[in-house]
Amino acid sequence: MLCRRAEADPDIYGEKLEKQGICAHVFCLFFANKLFQQPVKEIGLMGFLPEDIGRTIARAAQKVRT
């Protein structure tokens, strides 16, 4: 998960999508830093590639929260 809130309110985070072992909320995908949507929406999660999502999740996990 990008936001680490699997059971978050869908009115705030958007619908939760799952595919190929990746789980993310729609709004989290659109607002994630350095994550870009492909023109073909049928691939990955609404056009976001699983490998790109995985890299974004790994990058976010390394950040220190204050």
Does this model's pTM top 0.85? My answer is: no
Given this model, what pLDDT does residue 21 score? 82
Check residue 65 and give its pLDDT. Answer: 61
Calpha distance 25→23 (Å, rounded): 7
Angle at 20 between CA 19 and CA 22, to 5 degrees: 70
Q: Mean pLDDT in runs of 10 for the chain (66 residues)?
A: 80 87 89 92 90 89 70
